[in-house]
Structure 1
């Protein structure tokens, strides 16, 4: 197909809505893949014997690679063709899903998730950037709304689809379900999408990409391994030191190059900086909670996988409702008030969640999950809008890329830090007195492992201790979430601009508008 350089007539292509359907399938697959694994982790921990740290790596491998490669992936599409790179990304995602479905041990699952992260990093920015080649200005907003809704819909669908698959098939089915979806997306992209590119885009900086990936990887490794090895372990300290050095080198390099991939100078803008911090904090809390909640619902409360997925809906429901209702509230009260209030609600919900006990039952959990979802929605939408609104038109692309990258970094650190805090508290609290050394070590790996050991040993005391230890660890994680949200609310109230910043020149690019809608 010929390269599209002028899209003025592309909005009337009769195939455009079919092409949009292909993009929707791609984004929907990525959307529910972000949450489907969380429901599967307790089952995978049981079948693969995965420790809490290994479960963190299964979740974080995707997010770290995704965050590190999203910016260079977008530039690859601009330079070599967005349709070509989008198809490549879907192919990589499909191959990674097959590898995950066939894996029979933890390291292969982690490798598969990292491989899927490469594909996801290509698909996400490029699915948005091809919209201008398909739709004219009069239809573009509607198309952006459709594709963004597909991404949002994937979040609550993930736990339900994952739960149903786990109740009927083996855990590899949560990977295998991606294969037909990705194959449909590839076929439709080949047949329906025109090729577009922007030869004037910045070149991919290989060194900056490597610094980002290795710096994030070292940081996440240190956080995940610290509870097991000890925070003073030489390897952990060395990895922390390496992470600081690599990230500092990245910042220095990006400040010196003429056209940086990560435009750090944008952080000097108060509106962009504090809105970005708020949006990143929300991803930190959301991702951390989605990691610690399924084992509580499944192992402690005794729900099956499908029941666990359904019981996460109050969180997702509150998030989706509030995210759609946020804009009118911002119009009336201003973004600073709404972001601050959303973070205060989030802090209240997390602190309320710290009152959860083993005997609380699901009703209390559903209550604070619903409030948590509302806090998320009312904080993240105006924060995203404020951050993007603070960007001048000529830096909209680099600014939106920096914002989305930092959000993914927040997600990775949330899983690593909150998961490690929970893991350390669980190991310290669990009573393994009277168990053989090997069984005691196995029980300390995770609440799932402890319940299996308790069942094999016929020990009701160990089962009760495992439940108590896990709830104790979850309480500490929620306490950290509450304190972080409270501090962020105070910072937002003190430093956020009272009104949304207007762009200095021009209007938002369609891909930037899509990032707003996808908040």
Structure 2
């Protein structure tokens, strides 16, 4: 028990509000894009940059911001991040032009790059090993639940208020977090006074930007596009160079022992794979609900509640499993359940309906709730209090890459399956190109033609593509299970000394 942090649970609960705001912001904007295209006359390229500007800055600045938290003070930098996130949310809400909104979104991403890793970084500092799984469960629930809640809350807000309300909703959450952090969180920082690894910052940030942008472009242009492939390969090469450089430089940005730690490497890889599957599912499900089942945005968001409920139920069960059997068992059990849910979902056809979907969506949420907190606990167990900020940032950067790759790669599988299932011989020539863009365009073209058979063809083709995508998710989960068995050892539970000695042996 770390008695010097007596109010640690109140601090973590308050930080959950800030984390929830970040999670909401990742998905809540998607529903407002059609309205933004009309109200501030945004082009398709500008609509893409509303999301891309945020994602690129968030990915690029995670490691530098984690380092600043370790050096300057985690409380100071958390407050800076919360203030920046709140101010940027207000600027987004009242943006009068596309470039004003893009600029505000860039600063929103910068604020998130401080909040996410530093809120996680306090966990190994403030909580004992026995308490850590519970603390991670609270943090993870706030982070993960915000993502599927975005469409629900966003749909309700857009039905009742103007588009800026999807950003205004961040303000009460941020204010609550600022007040609690100001009064309850003691300042912590690293006692190490190492020179700043500017070369490491430059290589890692450039690599994350190039990789993220390459993946985004692949999602838009397809994986056959040379520019997209070059971006992805160049980003991966830069990140590999960063890892090699960190093991050889005198004053590395990231503790080189993390790259040799089975716990950190395994937990990070598994967490990234789970994020890969989660973001792929969240990419496909709203389209399935809105296009195939033909419900509105708010109803589609509400139909994602089984995923949220599964997460909420699975997370405390994961804590209990970790306490009794260890993290490896919790990860495997959750991953198997996740894989079963995804495999059941791959049997979806145009006639199954929402009742069938709610079953496999619940299983997916429950599996993620079991596996993801355990994977994060395994990774965080390797972090020292002195460098928890940059270590947490590295963990979150890899999860961000996993989620971005999930949307791009799994989205490509979905779109390829959709196009391959469409029988274009039945389409008029002028509608063919429109129908092949995506399922929403296909439905619009089929409705304009007034052909029920073509509407049925679009729905059937999308479901076929989604089934292929879900099998891709199953394959990723199987890889995650193999990683778990390969990297993670069975460890004695509830014994801080035994874990420490095992880590030393590795």
* Class of the TM-score when normalised by the shorter of the 2 chains: 0.7 to 0.9
Partner of 2:202: 210
Partner of 1:124: 116
Q: Can you give the 5+ residue segments of structure 2 that lack an aligned partner in the other structure? A: 501-506
Determine if the alignment matches structure 1 residue 383 to structure 2 residue 410. no
Indicate if the aligned counterparts of 1:271 and 1:390 stay in contact, CA closer than 8 A: yes
Indicate if the aligned counterparts of 1:389 and 1:500 stay in contact, CA closer than 8 A: no
Aligned counterparts of 2:473 and 2:291: Cα–Cα separation in 1: 22
Aligned counterparts of 2:179 and 2:31: Cα–Cα separation in 1: 30
Indicate if the aligned counterparts of 1:227 and 1:423 stay in contact, CA closer than 8 A: no
Determine if the alignment matches structure 1 residue 303 to structure 2 residue 295. yes
In the superposition, the TM-score normalised over structure 2's length comes to: 0.81
Partner of 1:490: 482
Q: Can you give the 5+ residue segments of structure 1 that lack an aligned partner in the other structure? A: 1-6, 508-519
Determine if the alignment matches structure 1 residue 318 to structure 2 residue 307. no
1:244 to 227, 236, 244: 236
Partner of 1:354: 346
2:269 to 265, 277, 300: 277
Measure how far apart 1:191 and its partner are: 7.5
Distance 1:62 1:203, change over 3 A: farther
Corresponding residue pairs, total = 497
Deviation per residue, 1:326-361 (Å, 9 max, x gap): 233344444333322322222221121111112211
1:263 aligns to what SS in structure 2? coil
Aligned counterparts of 2:439 and 2:329: Cα–Cα separation in 1: 40
Aligned counterparts of 1:413 and 1:346: Cα–Cα separation in 2: 19
Indicate if the aligned counterparts of 1:422 and 1:473 stay in contact, CA closer than 8 A: yes
Measure how far apart 1:323 and its partner are: 1.4
Measure how far apart 1:367 and its partner are: 0.7
Distance 1:280 1:142, change over 3 A: closer
Aligned counterparts of 1:276 and 1:132: Cα–Cα separation in 2: 16
Indicate if the aligned counterparts of 2:322 and 2:330 stay in contact, CA closer than 8 A: yes
2:247 aligns to what SS in structure 1? helix
1:166 to 158, 169, 172: 158
In the superposition, the TM-score normalised over structure 1's length comes to: 0.79
Measure how far apart 1:117 and its partner are: 1.6
Of stretches 284-293 and 439-448 in structure 1, the one that deviates more from structure 2 is: 439-448
Measure how far apart 1:498 and its partner are: 1.5
2:491 aligns to what SS in structure 1? coil
Indicate if the aligned counterparts of 2:55 and 2:109 stay in contact, CA closer than 8 A: yes
2:397 to 397, 402, 405: 405
Determine if the alignment matches structure 1 residue 288 to structure 2 residue 274. no
Deviation per residue, 1:286-334 (Å, 9 max, x gap): 1221122112112221112221111111112112211111233344444
Indicate if the aligned counterparts of 2:222 and 2:412 stay in contact, CA closer than 8 A: no
RMSD between superposed Cα atoms in Å: 4.2
Measure how far apart 1:376 and its partner are: 1.2
Partner of 1:481: 473
Determine if the alignment matches structure 1 residue 256 to structure 2 residue 248. yes
Q: Matches of residues 443-458 of structure 1 in structure 2 within 5 Å?
A: 443-458=435-450
Measure how far apart 1:365 and its partner are: 0.7
Deviation per residue, 1:405-460 (Å, 9 max, x gap): 322221222122222332343344445665564x5544443323333343444343
Distance 1:505 1:485, change over 3 A: closer
